[in-house]
């Protein structure tokens, strides 16, 4: 019996005198979790360990709990005055005698086989670091294994982090590893001493990885990382705590000066890692404006040189970095703040939508707005006399989202209508949209960033054309406009445009954002507006604006196809005609007509053909005759040859119309779609009876002819068969 006692004693003593792993446990006021932590280490299947408990001046009963474990010869206690996590860890490393250093934080706990599994991968002391995955743990028993996709190809392989720098992107999680003590001593790797600080694992993680030559990452997870300790740094959102992460990165940047060549190999990855930490804390920190300023001061040079891996960031992060670089921290904060929530009394943007009778279009449109990343805006739905159940759909959206409100406006005077909409709006900026379009989730955020960042009066974005075929969106045309590269780089006015005037400033409202004060200041200069006179409304704004910018991103999807309906009555055509005359007058008043005459002629030609191709019936017939006999002559389009037109197809279409004599048959030929033909004939009133009779008769004759041919062939076949039979009978006789 005594013999076995001495054997056990000497074995235990040898484990103590020659431990393979020294496990450091930093402790400060964790009496709720400490027993669970220490039990998980005491009961490790790997016995050749020493357990160094560093009590950092705890004021609860943590010290008494530690003392309960002192009967185990492997436990060592360092009791000191409170000096912070970094100093506690440095004390533990200095006192450690093991070949490897492990860390278990006192509110976490380890699986019993953790250190046995980690040590077996050390290859008899050859490796610098052995690292595993870990489990996020909640007190209700919920667990989640934390893995990183870019590490998976490297599992169980020995790598050099400088040659495989993606390892620097993983979170520090220094307690999921064991470190060769010689690595720490030879390279003077220590924790940063910052009493009361958080995030003190950051520089230690970077230093150890930077100096390691052989590291292995294993797929298994052993450490249970508690998420519910309110005193943990992960749950402390004060800027006073968060600011220490920047000191950690500064500490590492000092550390690497002795080996700048190695650092150059990982610099982009390191900068990307730095950005990750900043983004992670931004979601949590209390004083966001001060923190964004701190970020800006720390990373401005990196942003300026684009010395980071852009493809490692999601769209939100890319936008944030882009805004910081282009507009500075104050504007970036303003943008970020408005992505968080809606301020009912002070929305930044008012979106005004003129609605049409189309249930599906309205639903698609409003859903794409409600799901915007930018939250602080209102949606003003203008009910211009909806006749189907679209108004009921609007009421549902109004109940569901407080940003949506409905106003009723039946005034046909567009100027009064626009003034009413502007007066109803609360935002500092205005966006006018069509109810049949859908929008990129980042549209409002990016338009707001541009107009706010540049202090512009108008910002224009790019767009796609799309069709909705059987419920699936199909992009039919990308990049609606091709903007001048010189104009994309600066703020401009109409006087700065050298060519393609109407390609740059297409006079519809729904790809633009406007500063509301700018519109209010000049609205008295806007002449009377009529139906289809957004052209004149937008032209008035554009010609008065001194600060226009282009955002060459496809943020809007314009719907095209059979679900979009247009009509053009005589009065409306006259308004359209007057609007173009007014536009011509405005260009002349600005002494720009000579410069843009060819642009203007091409614009009218393209716009009028577009109108013609998107209407049918009486409207088509009326516009066809007006364009041919009056409109194109008035604007001088007919006197120019093919070379004067930018789009030769437009010229050919105009020439075909000028050369043709429109009658009922040509109209029907133009209306290739059967439904359009029927609609046209129905609109012809009294004379339509003859035309409907004509069409039906034509169809009837065609059908009768088909039946006759079929019957004739059958009868002909039967006659042949009959003759053949008669001949055979005659032959037999």
Residue 700 has pLDDT above 60, yes or no: no
110, 116, 122, 124 alpha-carbon torsion, rounded to 10°: 150
What pLDDT is stored for residue 683 in this prediction? 54
Do residues 485 and 500 touch, judged by C-beta distance below 8 A? no
Mean of per-residue pLDDT scores for the chain = 82
Residue 224 class from Cβ within 10 Å (0-12 exposed, 13-18 middle, 19+ buried)?
buried
pLDDT in tens, 1-19: 333 333 344 444 555 568 9
pLDDT in tens, 584-602: 888 898 899 999 899 999 9
What pLDDT is stored for residue 295 in this prediction? 86
Residue 677 has pLDDT above 60, yes or no: no
- E strands, 36-114, where? 49-56, 75-80, 100-103, 109-110
- Is residue 123 classed as helix, strand or coil in its secondary structure? coil
What pLDDT is stored for residue 694 in this prediction? 46
Residue 440 has pLDDT above 50, yes or no: yes
pLDDT in tens, 408-433: 876 656 667 777 888 889 999 999 99
Mean pLDDT of 271-299: 86
- Is residue 163 classed as helix, strand or coil in its secondary structure? coil
Residue 144 has pLDDT above 70, yes or no: yes
Cα separation, 262 vs 255, whole angstroms: 12
Cα separation, 425 vs 379, whole angstroms: 9
Cα separation, 643 vs 210, whole angstroms: 66
CATH 3.40.50.1970 for the 18-235 domain, yes or no = no
Cα separation, 401 vs 389, whole angstroms: 19
Mean pLDDT of 145-153: 76
What pLDDT is stored for residue 14 in this prediction? 52
Which pairs from 180-183 meet CB under 8 Å and 24+ separation? 180/99, 180/100, 180/101, 180/122, 180/125, 180/127, 180/128, 180/129, 181/22, 181/93, 181/96, 181/98, 181/99, 181/100, 181/101, 183/128, 183/129, 183/208, 183/211, 183/212
pLDDT bin (cut points 50, 70, 90) of residue 313 is confident
What pLDDT is stored for residue 425 in this prediction? 93
pLDDT in tens, 219-276: 999 999 988 865 655 556 677 777 788 889 999 999 998 899 999 999 999 999 988 8
Range from 267-281, 443-457, 631-645, 679-693 carrying the lowest mean pLDDT: 679-693
Cα separation, 612 vs 623, whole angstroms: 7
Under DSSP, the state recorded for 494 is G
Residue 607 has pLDDT above 80, yes or no: yes
Single pTM value for the model: 0.76
What pLDDT is stored for residue 134 in this prediction? 93
* Cβ neighbours around 14 below 10 Å, total: 11
Residue 34 has pLDDT above 60, yes or no: yes
pLDDT bin (cut points 50, 70, 90) of residue 528 is low
Our measurement of the distance from residue 211's CA atom to the centroid of its chain's CA atoms, rounded to an integer in Å, reads 38
- CATH code assigned to 349-565: 3.90.550.10
What pLDDT is stored for residue 147 in this prediction? 73
Higher pLDDT pick, 726 / 437: 437
Residue 48 has pLDDT above 90, yes or no: yes
Would 18-235 and 349-565 be classified into the same CATH topology?
yes
Residue 29 has pLDDT above 50, yes or no: yes
What are the domain boundaries of the chain? 18-235, 349-565, 584-683, 687-732
Residue 61 has pLDDT above 50, yes or no: yes
Residue 307 has pLDDT above 60, yes or no: yes
The sign of the torsion formed by the CA atoms of 88, 89, 94, 98 equals positive
Mean pLDDT of 378-389: 80
What pLDDT is stored for residue 50 in this prediction? 97
Joined tokens for residue 452:
């706010």
Mean pLDDT of 478-502: 79
Mean pLDDT of 168-179: 93
What pLDDT is stored for residue 413 in this prediction? 61
Cα separation, 677 vs 667, whole angstroms: 8
């Amino acid at each position: 019996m005594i013999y076995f006692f001495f054997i056990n004693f000497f074995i235990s003593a040898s484990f103590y005198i020659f431990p393979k792993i020294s496990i450091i446990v930093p402790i400060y006021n964790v009496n709720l979790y400490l027993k669970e932590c220490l039990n998980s280490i005491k009961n490790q299947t790997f016995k050749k360990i020493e357990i160094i408990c560093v009590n950092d001046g705890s004021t609860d009963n943590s010290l008494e709990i530690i003392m309960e474990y002192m009967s185990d010869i492997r436990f060592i206690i360092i009791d000191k005055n409170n000096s912070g996590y970094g100093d506690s860890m440095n004390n533990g490393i200095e006192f450690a005698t093991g070949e490897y250093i492990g860390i278990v934080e006192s509110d976490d706990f380890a699986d019993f086989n953790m250190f046995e599994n980690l040590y077996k991968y050390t290859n008899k002391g050859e490796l610098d670091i052995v690292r595993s995955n870990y489990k996020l743990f909640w007190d209700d028993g919920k667990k989640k294994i934390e893995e990183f996709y870019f590490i998976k190809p490297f599992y169980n392989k020995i790598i050099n982090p400088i040659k495989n720098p993606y390892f620097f992107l993983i979170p520090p999680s220094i307690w999921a590893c064991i470190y060769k003590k010689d690595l720490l001593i030879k390279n003077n790797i220590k924790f940063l001493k910052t009493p009361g600080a958080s995030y003190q694992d950051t520089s230690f993680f970077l230093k150890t990885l930077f100096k390691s030559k052989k590291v292995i990452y294993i797929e298994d997870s052993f450490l249970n990382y508690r998420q519910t300790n309110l005193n943990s740094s992960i749950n402390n959102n004060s800027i006073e705590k968060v600011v220490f992460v920047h000191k950690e990165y500064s500490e590492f940047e000092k550390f690497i000066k002795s080996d700048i060549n190695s650092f150059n190999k990982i610099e982009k990855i390191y900068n990307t890692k730095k950005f990750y930490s900043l983004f992670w804390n931004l979601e949590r920190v209390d004083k966001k404006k001060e923190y964004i300023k701190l970020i800006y001061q720390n990373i401005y040079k990196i942003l300026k040189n684009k010395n980071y891996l852009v493809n490692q960031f999601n769209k939100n992060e890319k936008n944030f970095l882009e805004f910081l670089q282009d507009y500075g921290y104050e504007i970036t904060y303003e943008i970020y703040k408005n992505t968080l929530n809606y301020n009912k009394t002070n929305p930044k943007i008012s979106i005004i939508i003129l609605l049409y009778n189309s249930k599906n279009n309205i639903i698609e449109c409003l859903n794409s707005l409600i799901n915007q990343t930018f939250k602080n805006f209102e949606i003003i739905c203008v009910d211009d006399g909806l006749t189907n159940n679209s108004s009921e759909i609007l009421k549902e959206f109004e109940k569901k989202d407080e940003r949506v409100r409905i106003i009723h406006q039946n005034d046909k005077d567009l100027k009064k209508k626009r003034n009413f909409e502007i007066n109803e709006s609360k935002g500092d900026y205005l966006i006018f949209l069509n109810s049949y379009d859908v929008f990129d989730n980042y549209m409002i955020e990016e338009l707001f960033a541009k107009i706010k960042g540049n202090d512009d009066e108008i910002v224009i974005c790019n767009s796609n054309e799309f069709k909705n075929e059987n419920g699936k969106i199909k992009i039919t045309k990308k990049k609606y406009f091709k903007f001048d590269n010189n104009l994309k780089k600066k703020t401009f006015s109409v006087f700065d445009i050298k060519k393609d005037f109407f390609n740059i400033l297409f006079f519809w409202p729904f790809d633009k954002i406007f500063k509301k004060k700018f519109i209010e200041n000049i609205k008295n200069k806007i002449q009377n507006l009529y139906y289809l006179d957004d052209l004149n409304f937008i032209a008035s704004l554009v010609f008065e604006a001194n600060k226009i910018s282009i955002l060459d991103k496809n943020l809007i999807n314009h719907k095209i196809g059979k679900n979009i309906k247009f009509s053009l009555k005589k009065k409306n055509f006259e308004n359209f005609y007057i609007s173009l005359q007014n536009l011509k007058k405005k260009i002349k008043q600005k002494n720009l007509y000579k410069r843009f005459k060819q642009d203007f002629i091409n614009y009218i030609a393209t716009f009028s053909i577009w109108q013609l191709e998107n209407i049918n019936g009486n409207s088509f017939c009326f516009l066809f005759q007006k364009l041919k006999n009056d409109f194109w002559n008035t604007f001088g389009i007919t006197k120019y040859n093919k070379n004067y037109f930018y789009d030769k197809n437009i010229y050919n279409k105009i020439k075909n119309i000028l050369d043709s004599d429109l009658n009922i048959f040509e109209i029907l030929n133009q209306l290739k779609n059967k439904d359009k033909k029927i609609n046209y004939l129905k609109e012809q009133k009294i004379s339509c009876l003859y035309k409907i009779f004509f069409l039906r008769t034509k169809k009837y004759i065609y059908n009768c002819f088909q039946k006759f041919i079929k019957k004739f062939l059958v009868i002909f076949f039967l006659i042949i068969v009959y003759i053949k039979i008669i001949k055979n009978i005659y032959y037999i006789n």
